[in-house]
Structure 1
Amino acid sequence: MRRLDIVKEHLKPGEVYHRRDLMEWSTSVDRHLQELVKEGTLEKLSGGLYYVPSQSVFGKVPAEEQKLVKAFLKDHRFVILSPNDYNALGVGTTQLYNERRVYNYRRHGDFKLGNRTFRFIRKPYVPSKVTKELLLVDLVNNIKSLAEDQPMLLENIIKRTGEMSPHRLKQLARDFGNVSTRKLFDSLKS
């Protein structure tokens, strides 16, 4: 069996691979990667990052966001948010944005992975999951960048905090918020 066929045997549709992941099965990784991309078995997403496309009735399915970011960061400790997620809070945000933020411990900057661009933001604390409290704190962190009526939004945010755990909000604001966010949540009654 050829070495290239051995590499192909280990590739699973829908998975994202780092160049170093394939070194286990290949004696000439770069040559094999080049051949696999040329024949369409792999798609190059960015430097050293490859995707094995899975097929649906509509054609090739893009890589899952979580797998893509996990392979890029080489870390599972991150949270992906979009300003569109704020709309679920019911505080008056209605705009749609074409931005994905990845809060993480490793990278900072805008990176294009495949046909998607992500804004990676390095933080000293990254929650393990997205909660309404996290969305509210992130909304206050980024309120100045939104195309919404900011005074009305702040008023609605303050009303909304009454329905959430004040302790959790204040803790998240201390760990994840910027200075103005911390001040706002510290000023609220417990």
Structure 2
Amino acid sequence: MPKVDNLKFHLRPGQVYRRENLQQWTTAVDRHLAELVEEGTLKKVAPGMYYFPKATAFGDAPPADSELVRAYLKDDEFLLTSPNDYNGLGVGTTQLYNKTIVYNHKRHGDVKLGNRVFSFQRKPRFPKKPTVEFLLVDLVNNLSSLAEDPTAVLGNVRVRVQQLDARQLKTSVKRFGSAKTQKLFASFLQ
């Protein structure tokens, strides 16, 4: 069996691979990667990162955002979020944003992976999964970057605070809120 076929044998549809992960199955990794990209078996998503497309009835499916970010960061310590997530909080945010934010411990800045741009933000703490309390705190942290009227949104946040579990909200504010956000929520929770 040719060495490139040995490499193909180990690829799984829908997976993102780093160059160094593929070296174990071939002695000519760069040549074989170039061949696989040229024939369309793999797609290059970033320097040293490749995606094995999953075929669907509508064509090749793009890789999941979480798979791209996991391969880029080389770990699972991240949270994918978007300003669109605030729209479900019932505080008057309705804008749609074409922005994916990645809270993580390693990287900072905008990075293009495939045909998507991810905004990496280094944070000391973030939850594994976003909760309503976390999203409310995150919204107030990022209020100045949103298109909505900050005064109207803060008025709605004040009302929404009364509908949530005070202990969980205080914990989220303490863990994830900036100094300004903590001060605002202290006035809301009195």
**Structure 2 partner of 1:160:** 160
The CA RMSD over aligned residues, in Å, is 1.1
Provide Cα deviations, 1:126-151, integer angstroms capped at 9, x if missing partner: 21111111111110011111111111
Alignment TM-score, normalising by the size of structure 2: 0.96
Q: How does 1:93-108 map to 2 (within 5 A)?
A: 93-108=93-108
**Structure 2 partner of 1:131:** 131
Contact 2:161-2:189 at 8 Å conserved across structures: no
- State the SS of the aligned residue for 2:118: strand
**Structure 1 partner of 2:53:** 53
Alignment TM-score, normalising by the size of structure 1: 0.96
Aligned-pair distance for 1:26?
1.1
Aligned-pair distance for 1:168?
2.1
2-side partners of 1:2 and 1:16: how far apart? 23
1-side partners of 2:183 and 2:141: how far apart? 11
2-side partners of 1:148 and 1:126: how far apart? 24
Residue 122 of structure 1 pairs with residue 122 of structure 2: yes
- State the SS of the aligned residue for 1:140: helix
- State the SS of the aligned residue for 2:92: coil
**Structure 2 partner of 1:16:** 16
Amino acid in the other structure paired with 1:132: V
* Deviates further, 170-179 or 13-22: 170-179
Contact 1:123-1:176 at 8 Å conserved across structures: no
In the alignment, structure 1 segments of 5+ residues that lack a partner are none
Contact 1:77-1:126 at 8 Å conserved across structures: no
**Structure 2 partner of 1:67:** 67
Contact 2:111-2:118 at 8 Å conserved across structures: yes
**Structure 1 partner of 2:148:** 148
Q: How does 1:166-185 map to 2 (within 5 A)?
A: 166-185=166-185
Aligned-pair distance for 1:6?
0.4
Contact 2:104-2:120 at 8 Å conserved across structures: yes
Residue 28 of structure 1 pairs with residue 28 of structure 2: yes
1-side partners of 2:19 and 2:164: how far apart? 44
**Structure 2 partner of 1:188:** 188
Equivalent residue pairs, number: 190
Contact 1:14-1:63 at 8 Å conserved across structures: yes
Residue 111 of structure 1 pairs with residue 111 of structure 2: yes
1-side partners of 2:29 and 2:172: how far apart? 44
